Structure 1
C-alpha cells in the first residue's frame, strides 16, 4: 500500500472511531446514574468479544490472529487503557457531556508531541499549527476558570494522558500485532478486571457517599431492566467497532497525522449534548467547534490534496 493511501485510510479509520466512540460515551453517560462502571464494562466487553470472535471466524475460520509473543506489552497496554476508561467515565458521569469531551481533547496534542519525542516521527510546522488551533478551540470550549478545576475535570485530564500513552503503544506494536489481536487482548483484560471489581465491590460495600465523584465506581450491581439492554448492547458494539477503527488508524498512519482528527469528535459531542442531554451550545461553543473542526479539516486537505498534487511520492509526514 502506498504511503498516501495508507494515510488516507488511517484518517478515515480515525473518523469512524471518533463516531462510534461518541456513541459509546453517550450510552455510558446515559447509564451512569443507575449502574456501576465495572458492570457496564463487563457487559460491553462480553458483547465486544463476541463481535471480534465472529469477525475472526468469518475471516480465517480459526483463531490464529489471537496468537502473540508480546503478552507483556498487551498487559501493560490493557492496564493503561483501563485506567484511562475509569478516569474518563468517572469524570464524565459527574460533568456536562460536552465539557468532559472538551477536556479530553487535549489527548491528540499529547499524542502529536510524544510521537515526535519518543517515536521519531517528523511533525512539521503545518501539522503543529493545526493541532495548536484545535487545542485553542478546546480552551475556548472550556472557558477556563475556577469551575474547570474540579476532581472530575482532573480525572478526565488524567484519562487523556493515559489514552495518549496507549495509542503510542499501539503504534509501536503495529509491526507484530494485528488490529484484531490488539483489541481482543484488551477486551479479555477488561473482562478479567471487571469481574474482579464485581467480586470485590459489586455488593456496594464501598459506596460511601452516593453523590461523590467516584460513586460510579462502587455502586452495587443490579439486574438491568429490559429497556436498558439495547443501550448496554450498543456500548459493546460501539467499543468493538471504535477500537478496531482507532487501532487500525494508528497502525496505518503516523500518530501525529491521525491524532488531530480526534478533534472532529467535538462537534459530535455538542450535537449529542443537544439531542440527548438538552445542553445547547452558545456563541463561544460554536467558535470552539469552528477551530477544532477547522484544524482537523486543514490537516486532511493538506495531506490528501495539496501534498499529493505537489509530489505524490512524498513519504507520509514528509513536509507536514
Structure 2
C-alpha cells in the first residue's frame, strides 16, 4: 500500500465518526443481550456462538473489500496479541455484567481513554501535560466513588467491580495496536482475526470446562457465568443469539474501520454515546436506576474522559495540518 493511499484512508473523519457511532449502538445491544442471557448459558458458549455468526459476516465483508488475499498479513503475531487483548477485555467486562448494573459497569469501563493517555507516555513516547494528568486523577477518583460500596463489603464485591477496570486497560492497549495496524490491514480482515481469536479461546474453555465441573459449589455469579456447563439454546434464545452474532460482526468491523479511517482524537469522543444507551437498556430491560453515588462517579468519569479527549483533539489538529500521518 502506498503512503498516499494510507494517508487518504486515515483522514476520513466523517467515515470514522459514522462507524464509531454504528459500533457503539451495536456494542450497547451486544452488552444488553449478553447480560440477558447470562442466567442460562456460560460466557464461553455465548462468545463462541456470537463469534461464529460474526466471522461469517466478516468473511462476507472480506469478499467485498478485496477477496481472500487481504487476509494475508506480515504481522500475524501482533494480530493475535491484539485479539487476545480484546478477548480478555470482553471476558472481564461480561463477567462484571452478570452481577453489576449495566450503566455502572459501562461507566467504569470508560476509564479506557484515561488509560490510553497514560499508556501513550511509555508506549508511544508522547508528552502528557499536567492538565490531562489531573483529568486522569479526577476520572479514577470517579471509579473509586463507584467502587466504595464494594470495598465496604456491599454490592457485587470489590474484585467483581474491578473487572471493568481491567477490561478498560486491555481495551486501551487494543486500541493503541489498532491504530498501529490500521494502515496495514483492511477492517474486514482485522475483524476476521478478532473473531477467530474469540472462537479459539472459547473452544479452549469448552475443552477444559465445558461440562460445568468448575462451577459446582461456586457461589460467585461471575465465576458461575464463566464456567457453567454448555446448554443447547431454546428456539426463542436462538433468535437472541442470532442478534448477538450480527451485533458482534458489526462491532468488529465498525471499530476497526473507525480507527483506521480517522485519528483517535476525532473518533474516541463518540464512544461515549454507549453510556446513555447502556442506561436506557438497563432501565428498559432490567429496571436498573443508578443511585446518587453512581451518578456522581459516572459524572466524574464522563467529564474527565471528555476533557482528555478534547485535549487530544486540540493537540492532534496542528499535527494533522502540518504533515501527513505516518505509519
TM-score class normalised by the smaller sequence: 0.7 to 0.9
- Residue 93 of structure 1 is matched in structure 2 by 98
1:231-270 equivalences under 5 Å are 231-270=240-279
State the TM-score, normalizing by the size of structure 1: 0.82
TM-fit CA distance, 1:302: 8.9
RMSD: 3.5
2:36 maps to which of 30, 34, 55: 30
1:53 maps to which of 59, 73, 81: 59
Residues 1:106 and 2:111 aligned together:
yes
Question: Deviations 1:236-279 (Å, cap 9, x if unpaired)?
Answer: 11121112121222223333543343333211111111011101
Distance 1:38 1:238 in 2: 17
Distance 2:102 2:92 in 1: 14
Residues 1:229 and 2:238 aligned together:
yes
Query: 5+ residue gaps in structure 1?
Result: none
Task: Tell me whether 45-54 or 174-183 shows the greater mean CA deviation.
Answer: 174-183
State the TM-score, normalizing by the size of structure 2: 0.81
Distance 1:105 1:311, change over 3 A: closer
Residue 35 of structure 1 aligns to a residue in which SS?
coil
TM-fit CA distance, 1:8: 4.1
Distance 1:125 1:11 in 2: 28
Distance 1:274 1:139, change over 3 A: farther
1:1-320 equivalences under 5 Å are 6-60=12-66, 62-120=67-125, 146=152, 147=154, 150-212=158-220, 213-282=222-291, 313=321
Query: 5+ residue gaps in structure 2?
Result: 1-6
CA contact (8 A) 2:104 2:298 kept: no
Residue 223 of structure 1 aligns to a residue in which SS?
coil
